[in-house]
Amino acid sequence: MFRGRVIFLLIGLFSFAAGAWWLNRLSTMKSQITQATVQKTRANEFHDLLQQIMLERKTELLVTDVEVTDQMISQVVDATWLETLILDNGAISDEAIVVISQLEELRHLRLRRSPITNEGLRQIAEMNSLWYLNLPHANCTDLGVAELSKLPAIRQLRMGSPGLTSESASEFAKIRTLRSLHLIGVPIDDRGLKIIAKMPNLQSLYLDDSLVTETGWEWLFEEVPNLHVHVNQQHHDRDPQAHQHDK
């Protein structure tokens, strides 16, 4: 009788385990199906938006809600007249940059949530028409920044990357056409600030989470009094240009 109870208990435990495994399997399959459906829906939304761009020959493609992939970007190459491409919820890689760099009229490129590396920046550096580049979530190094000095028309640059160092100041300073520079989480120090301040056409400087000290800022406002400055998204107390936002 005892042996029978043990066998019965083992059978029960096996049945419970098998049932739990099957329920987990069903849950996983359902999740995969849901994810595939969502991705298909997103792809369709992007395709429809791009079709509208193609039919109406609009010069701006702004995608804020759809998560754009490298595969979806391959469709953009036919819109050769695009001047603005903004992807705020994408996660595209260097592979997509190869396609984007073929848009010869593109002037404004903003890629959020996209870890573009040095290789991607090498491709971007070939875009002669580009004047505004915004890569807040890049994954490049100082060597990648050096590539951007090849851009002949760039005026505004906004960039953040965990791979950048304080030495990147020298590379940013080589982009001599820049009028506006916004660095996010780049460890620029007082020495780097003095290098950037010498940029011949710089009119606006935004530094978020830098290593610049109060001594460095005091030097800047004394030596470059006309520079428009934001520190951590706010005007510094000594910024003589603060009134520009009060109008």
Q: Does residue 221 lie within any of the structural domains?
A: yes
- Residue 172, domain extent: 115-245
Q: For 193-206, write each residue's pLDDT tens digit.
A: 999 999 999 999 99
What CA–CA distance (Å, rounded) separates 219 from 84? Answer: 37
Q: Tell me the β-bridge partners of 69.
A: none
Q: Does residue 12 lie within any of the structural domains?
A: no
Q: Does residue 64 lie within any of the structural domains?
A: no
Q: For 132-180, write each residue's pLDDT tens digit.
A: 999 999 999 999 999 999 999 999 999 999 999 999 999 999 999 999 9
What CA–CA distance (Å, rounded) separates 28 from 35? Answer: 10
The better pLDDT of the pair 114, 1 is held by 114
CB atoms within 10 A of CB 92: 23
CB atoms within 10 A of CB 127: 24
Q: Does residue 17 lie within any of the structural domains?
A: no
Q: Does residue 36 lie within any of the structural domains?
A: no
Q: For 9-43, write each residue's pLDDT tens digit.
A: 656 666 666 666 666 765 554 444 443 444 445 67
Q: Does residue 146 lie within any of the structural domains?
A: yes
The number of domains in the chain is 1
**8 A C-beta contact, residue 112 and residue 90:** yes
pLDDT (0 to 100) of residue 38: 42
Mean pLDDT of the chain: 87
Across the range 85-96, mean pLDDT stands at 93
Q: What is the model's pTM? A: 0.80
Q: Does residue 3 lie within any of the structural domains?
A: no
Report the CATH number at residue 223: 3.80.10.10
Q: Does residue 193 lie within any of the structural domains?
A: yes
Across the range 231-242, mean pLDDT stands at 72
